[in-house]
Each structure stands twice: as structure tokens, then as C-alpha cells.
Structure 1
Amino acid sequence: MSRPNCEDFQQLFVNDTPLMDMRAPIEFAQGAFPTSDNRPLMQDDEREAVGTCYKEQGQQAAIALGHELVNGEVKAQRVAQWKAFCEANPNGYLYCFRGGLRSRITQQWLQEAGIDYPMVVGGYKALRRYLIDTIDAVAAKPMTLIGGNTGCGKTIMVNEVDNAIDLEGAANHRGSSFGRYVTPQRTQIDFENVLAVAMLKKQAAGHDHLVFEDEGKIIGSVSVPLSINQAMQQAPIAIVDDPLDVRLERLLDDYVVRMQRDFVAQYGEEDGWQKFAEYLERGMFSIRKRLGFQRYEELLLVQQNAVKAMQSSGSLERHYDWLSLLLEQYYDPMYTYQLGKKADRIVFRGEYDEVKAWLAENAR
């Protein structure tokens, strides 16, 4: 007996249920779900042709064209891919945009191949609406923010606190000028979907009061959902006050050691070093106006010399020079100014372990 089609969206996301996405690749690239795998019924050009036919000649003609385009060996190859997914993920579901024709055709062709595989009722559109509503519902509940100067370990802490959500992790970007990773940043839709799924999992674990890092409206190239951003403007803040030397060590590891390793792992030794140097230079270039041209030129030279020394001898010492100047002359003054506008919402200050202990007692 086949399983019923899925209508329990919460359990679907909380359990990381495998999802077979039948939409065209262009639709999938714009936004999908963390556990979805694109196995399209139609490729982009086929979908476009069928859509044009639908507008000009109606549904029946469009269906006929679709069967004509996806037929014979093409159809056999796609059904074989679907079968492989279904056999590898017997607990999964399939979906198209609205849970309509593409889902039903896929189910029919799978049944002809001997497989009963359920679909998500309402398809991608219904799942997406559910996740957007989840974000808005969370925004209406209690939250506490972790604040502090650059390098104080806010992102580390949100990954150590049980009821915390990592906004930067969901965005795949650290939020600063040097915040990108080797892997591309998520699209806006993918960011929101990953964020909402994380929220659902926290709720399922019994956490209604959530903790977030104190973020601005933008993380890299994505925007924090409006309802969450507005709620964050009112939320209490616990400030991490770690000393400069501790923050420098974190930044050195985050922006230099790990990024150099990741670039080399991704691109090989020669290209990896080149792309690592370009990453640091682009980070500096992005804040040149705020630094002022002369200070930017000075810091860039120090940074470039640090990379050369690191590559030739493995020494990290020169990186402290530009990182410390960047903290003292740019990031710290900027954050102090921003924090001054939030002074009435600061409820606790302390070093890393003290803030973490305070959150465990007061933000649950």
C-alpha cells in the first residue's frame, strides 16, 4: 500500500524528509528546500515551449506537446532517475510548483514502472508559504540578541547555545566585508527556507524563546526577513566584551587560516593562494571609502605583505598588523556608534563564558 500524500509540513521539514523536486532547473535554482533534489519532468527549454503553447493554444495542446517532447529514450532516462531517487529515499515525497499536473504525471509514470511514490499536497508553493508563515510566527515570540565587537565570537556562541539560530550560517556569509566563504552565498529564497527549517527544529525541541546574533538588515547579499528584522530592533541584547587579543586570534583563524585552507582545498595550491589573496583584497576594497583613501592604501599594503610572508614562510605574524588596525580604527568605532543607539536594550555585559552562562539562565 502506498503512503498518503503529505500534508504535515512541520514533520516533513523537522525530519529532513528527502524531496524530489520535479520543477525545471531554472525554478529550482531560484529557490528550493534543504533536502530537495532536482529531478525535473521538463528541462528549461521544454518547459518554456510548453508554457508558450499553453498561452497560445490551451491546456490540452500544451499537455500533448509535453508528451511529445518527453518521450521515448528521454522519458526512459528521466523515469530511471526518478526510480533511483525513490529507491534510495523510500521515505521521501515528490513535488512540483503547485502539486498539480507535473506531480500527477510523474506519479503516473512511476506507477507504470512499478513504484507508488507520494507527493506533497500543494507543492512548492504551499511549502514555501508554510515556511514564510513560520518565520513571521517566530518573529512574534520572545527573542534575545547576542551583541559585541567584531571577533568576540557571537557566531560561535549561537552554534553552542541550544535555543539559538545562526542567521549567518543560514545565509552562508559572515556578514562583514570579509564575510564570504569559498562556496557561493545562498539565494534570498534559499536563505529564508534554511532559516525557517532551523526555526521549526528549535520549536520541535521545545524552544520558543530564541537567541540570534545582533545583525543588520543585510547579510552579504541577502536581507534578513522583515518581520525578524523588526523584532530584532526591539529585542534585549547581551553584549560580549572580550579583550582585543582574544578577538584578534578569532579573526586570524576565521579570515586567514581557515579561508586560505579552504581556497587551496577548492582550487589547488597555486590558484588557491591567488584567490585567497584576492578575497582579502576585495574585503579591504569594499570598505575603502569608510577607511579613507590614504588609510586604505596603507592597510592594503600591510595585508599584501602579510600574505606574501605567509606563503613564503608560513608565518602569520604580519596578519596581526592589519587585523589589529582594522579593529581599532574601523570595526570597533563603528560598532560602538551603533551600540550607542541600542543602549536602552542592553541587559547584560560580560566576557564570552559569562554571556553564555547568562543566556542559559535568562533567555530560555
Structure 2
Amino acid sequence: MREDTDNYRQLFLNDTPMIDLRAPIEFAQGAFPNTISLPLMTDDERAKVGTCYKQKGQQAAIKLGHELVCGEIKAARMERWLSFCRNNPEGYIYCFRGGLRSHTTQQWLKEAGVNYPLILGGYKALRHTLLEVLSDVSKQLPFYIVGGKTGSAKTLMVNTLANAVDLEGAAHHRGSSFGSFVNPQSTQINFENTTAIQILKNQHAGCSQLVFEDEGRNIGSVDLPKPLYQKMLTSPVAVIEDPFEIRLQRLLQEYVINMVDDYTRVHGEEQGHILCEEYLLSGLDKIRKRLGNERWQVLRQTMQNAIKQHQAGAGFDAHLNWLTPLLEWYYDPMYEYQLSLKADRIVYRGNWQECHDYLLHQSSK
């Protein structure tokens, strides 16, 4: 039998499968990759036990918990736990602090003939470990930042470098007004956890430096951890300088073609087209003030015309009629200004492949 463990970093490095016994509402606020929510109690049951604890004390709360989770309810939950244990013999269980919920479940599993280890300190200890990684990384390794105007495929570059951390992937958002995906964005906690695990794995692999995409203080609704962001603000920048037409075609593919495909795949043709239209118009509306009302009205009408054409089966080229001025009027001037503020940190400029080779060479030093 494996022992209960407090080797938290190794659990993340090994992508160890884990059962999260916390209530669904706790899991929804934040959890870890490779975990599954198989709660001991529902949200309602947990609330009742918590109220009982406050009013009558621990023993009464424990008694109520056993009354709520018994008979067929207990049997159904046991079967799900046992199935996970059979399929993941190397896994662990945890609750919030590694206390009553995980010990109770561990004992029930033992009575069913399965000795399954728990994580000492539970979710709280695992989370603390990842927050330590985020806090300490700025002191341990130098950073390089990948910059470039919108459509420069910065995220693609990050995903082709072994020593890079994909912040937008962790956030599940592209970091622009058109940055959302069909599925909801990561919670703040999940974003931090995923980012920390990427950093931890790069450190364990012996990376001498880390590469990040140039980001603002937040990506969609999540905020970059303060130590990480502050280090990024002082790190050297490699700037991708790809031609306008190449960047324009990338945006057409990313903002329009891919999103139409994703929405219709998830929601079906009719509803998918409606939701994708809402996504495009909403993205433009978010920057109305910065565009100015006159330009916003022109782009919105042009976008609506393009949407009608692609929904009628005429293809996607009409979207270039609003994407082109969007780059010329908004994105390019904005990034040129932001880049001017980083002028003293720019260490390299080149096309996508040249920047990729430069960063690859730096990582081999």
C-alpha cells in the first residue's frame, strides 16, 4: 500500500490523478488539472452540516453527515470512488484540509477492501505549494517576452518552445476584445494553478530561462499573479515583425473561421451562427469608446454585412473589410504605442521564424 503523502510538487510533476471530495461549489471555484469532482457531500448537504456544526458542535455535525450520506446515496458515491480507484491505482484523495471528509472516505474505501491514500493537508496544502511557485519564480529564472502586433502568432510561438509558459492557454482566453472561446474562461484560481504547474514542470526539466507572451495586467477576467507580472515588465523582449497581410489572414482564421466552426460544432448550425454573431458584435462593442462612435458604427455595419454573407454561404472574405481597418485604426497604433514604452528592453526583431530561432538559441545557452 502506498502511504498518505505530503510530496505535493511530485504529485503535480507526475500528473497524478486525484479525487476532489470537496463540495461542487468548492470545486467550481478552483481545482487542479488531473482531478475529478466526486464529492462526499452535495452543496446542500455541506451547508446543512456546516450550520449544524455552528449551532450544535462537531459531534452533532458528524452524526448529521452520516445520516445524510447513507443507504443508496452512500452506495452510489462509493461505487464512483471505487471505480476511480480501480482505474487509477496510483491516485490519491483529498478534501479541503485533509481532515474529516478525506479520512471518512478513506475509511469507507478500506471497509470495501480498497486501501487508498490521501493527501495530507488536502487542497489547502496543494494550493499553497502552487502559490509558492508563482511567488518564487521571479527570483529564480530570467524571463524572455515574445512581443508583436496583433496577428503575429505569439501564442503559437509560445507553444512551440519547450521552455515557454502559455498564459493565454491557462486563462482560456486570447487576451483581446475578441479573446473569448465557446467554453467559459478559467477561474482565477484555475488560471493560477495551471500556470504554476507549467512553471514547475519547466523548472524540473532544467530550463535556464522562461518565455512568456507579452501580456497586460489581465487576460480577460483573470489577473496575472503580481510577482510574475512585475518580472515580465522588466524582462527582455523579442518582437515578431510579420507583414500586415499575413497577420490579417491569421485574424480572419482565428477570430472568424475557427469561431464559426467551434460555435456550430458545440451548438449546432442555427444556434451556433446566432451565438457566433453575438460574440463578434460583442467583441467590437467592447472597444467602442476607444474606436470612437463614428468608426465603431462603420465597422459594426461592415461586420454585420460580412456575417450575413458567410451565413448565406458566400465564404468569409467579406470579414476582411472590417478586420483590415480594425488593425489599421485600433490594434496596430495601440501596440506601436505600447512597444515604444518597451523600447529599451527590445533585444531582437525579426519575422516569426527568426524570432523563434533566436529564442531557441537563447534557451540553449
> TM-score by structure 2 length?
0.98
- Which amino acid is 1:294 matched to? E
Structure 1 residue runs of 5 or longer lacking an equivalent are none
1:26-105 matches, cutoff 5 A? 26-105=25-104
1:323 Cα shift? 0.6
Contact 2:178 2:255 survives alignment (8 Å): yes
Which residue of structure 2 lines up, in the alignment, with residue 296 of structure 1? 296
Matched, 1:272 2:281: no
Distance 1:16 1:363 in 2: 25
Contact 2:2 2:116 survives alignment (8 Å): yes
Contact 1:211 1:363 survives alignment (8 Å): no
Which residue of structure 1 lines up, in the alignment, with residue 356 of structure 2? 356
- Which amino acid is 2:16 matched to? T
Distance 1:42 1:208 in 2: 45
Distance 2:86 2:138 in 1: 39
Distance 1:136 1:234 in 2: 16
SS in 1 for 2:147: strand
Which one is further off, 73-82 or 91-100?
73-82
SS in 1 for 2:179: coil
SS in 2 for 1:313: coil
Matched, 1:193 2:193: yes
Which residue of structure 1 lines up, in the alignment, with residue 23 of structure 2? 24
Length, aligned pairs only:
363
1:208 Cα shift? 3.5
1:1-364 matches, cutoff 5 A? 2-140=1-139, 141-364=141-364
Structure 2 residue runs of 5 or longer lacking an equivalent are none
1:237 Cα shift? 0.4
Q: Deviations over 1:99-130 (max 9, x none)?
A: 01111000000011111100011100000000
SS in 2 for 1:34: coil
Which one is further off, 133-142 or 182-191?
133-142
Which one is further off, 75-84 or 199-208?
199-208
1:245 Cα shift? 0.4
Contact 1:146 1:212 survives alignment (8 Å): yes
- Which amino acid is 1:98 matched to? R
SS in 1 for 2:239: strand
Taking only the aligned residue pairs, the percentage that are identical comes to 55
- Which amino acid is 2:3 matched to? P
SS in 1 for 2:312: helix
SS in 1 for 2:114: coil
| Structure 1 consecutive aligned stretches of length 4 or more whose deviation exceeds 3 Å | none
Distance 1:79 1:256 in 2: 46
> TM-score by structure 1 length?
0.98
- Which amino acid is 2:318 matched to? R
Distance 2:41 2:313 in 1: 53
